[in-house]
Structure 1
């Protein structure tokens, strides 16, 4: 399961000798099987390695994940607590997802009162989005995207639809200019892939958001970025930049891959086909089942132990990195003893858990985007078919996310929709 690695960056502790590397080809092909193998070998907490043979602990058990995300004193959020932090080079490709460099001032890596205040500000700004107008934006932009390829009878749904719709809608809500949306999509993908372009992707996102911050400081409007800038919590320009990056990144990639994973399952899995196309379940409920079975956020980083901690069957030293295996927690056999168990429940960990979980307004916006996207797609192109064998579909090479690189489909060509442009519609 291991693959050739770049030079070893730190001294490997005995606890991690022989551990698997998260992000090797086997992991990308079938992370669920990797998680199951780790659970069989180690139980609910497993030693793993990141690129450069950097050791971490992957939490696989639902109960243990709840413990880690609830006890924020013992399992803390500041990357400065990491005992290996000073040993890793500034260009380590996973730093953008682990609190290195500029990201250290991000909302994600705050603790205590500062986190509560800044998370509250983000939640208030997102809650200000009018849900009716937001839904209308989702449907309108989804129709525009489908119109761009509906006449051809074939499309690549990731590049032409799922990657674009969330950034178009969230860009509108936050105030990001339309002409910058496509470049942001590429930068998001590069950062999350964790490869050689990860830092360049992060830098592009940062430059785009810095320009947005300057605009809302000088000419505020009714968008989310302006409301966050005006919040009484009083964010600095750097804090505002970092919190907007978190909001855009989380709102885009997870939503994109949720839509892609759902569409793929609809095309290859009869139970999901029945749920979506034949109306056995409401689209929103069918989408929640995908969060149980194929959640876009596989692993979330990270937590650091503030003192030695007993977790599962191991004692973790102070200052060690802990990774949240959210997808593994969703399939924990102790939680779901029977196949299909808890499908109607929202106890999945796809949005994480505890004080650092995704705020409720963000969850609502994400569900609106994916629901509208799937409904428009099925309404306009009801006879979608996968254009290649399922085993040829490729997944993004990311430690953190599970999403398709491409989703080629065929369908019966249809003409563009006729939009109502005003006047009296029945004349």
Structure 2
């Protein structure tokens, strides 16, 4: 089915800030997803040390990552509603403050060797995370229109990827000083992002008064009823893509430390960065090129998923040579980089500003849940066999291709809602 005629609604004039896009505003927007990823992925390299220092199990150490993502995934829709009712910055700014302050508390929990304090602080960080990157996506839709919107959304996705690239390396480097150093480094990055949001981002003024909650929820229900035939598949495509991405990275991180590779520390971080770098470059390029071309978006989404299917299927049988295996995962990263910016642009531009926060939040909530379940489920599949794991994720990619091909059919030229 094709997009609804409502998608062709007239677009109002670009806001002054959108028409005169500042490089500093782009940078400020990019810091939000970047600091979000740093606060989570930077801890991955120190998990084995944490197990030893705090005398906890592998499962307990994995909760430091999983509980953060699950808490954020549950709270994101609430943050989306608040950003629609008030303003985006009114949610992002306090969220960054909570996020950074809880990072300090988590660091103190590590210093005191208190796992309960550490894990509670990570849950609080998840509450703060819910109001950062997901709301930034809605803010981009408010500030920019047309080609500038897709370019900015591509930058957001690329920034997310850059965070994934540098996080393992940065976490490993900081841990050379002391194992809990990453906990205290993160609030510094959070403070820089906070200052950038306050002073570099000019949010357009709200044009309408906030609606009563009952009427607001009714409008969300109407949107999902009229556009759910493609929005819901798009939500799940984003979630499954992140599930596969983080799961594959977890798998790669595990096998690199085992025989015959025995690769650890910064060297391992650099190898993990290769497929992520392919994702970053592809995401930014895709965002810059797609503009509002719906036909091109459809081609790129389907090509991206085909690349994922082929590379993950071949990885089932060609894992003996590390160079070939990394090459296949890099091709999968390219496929992910083709898919996500298109989904971001379609979802963000599909609704009016008054409901954009909730719709993008529902999308990001499912993405966070995909991230949360990736590592533990991949760990379980690893215990069965390598082939079972990659046949499963290749099948999931095939399912996504079916959903995207048959249900997500954007019009040739899209017009973003104001």
Q: Judge same fold: TM > 0.5, yes or no.
A: no
Structure with bigger strand share is 1
TM-score, reference length from structure 2: 0.31
Structure number with bigger Rg: 1
Greater relative CO (CA pairs within 8 A, separation 6+): 2
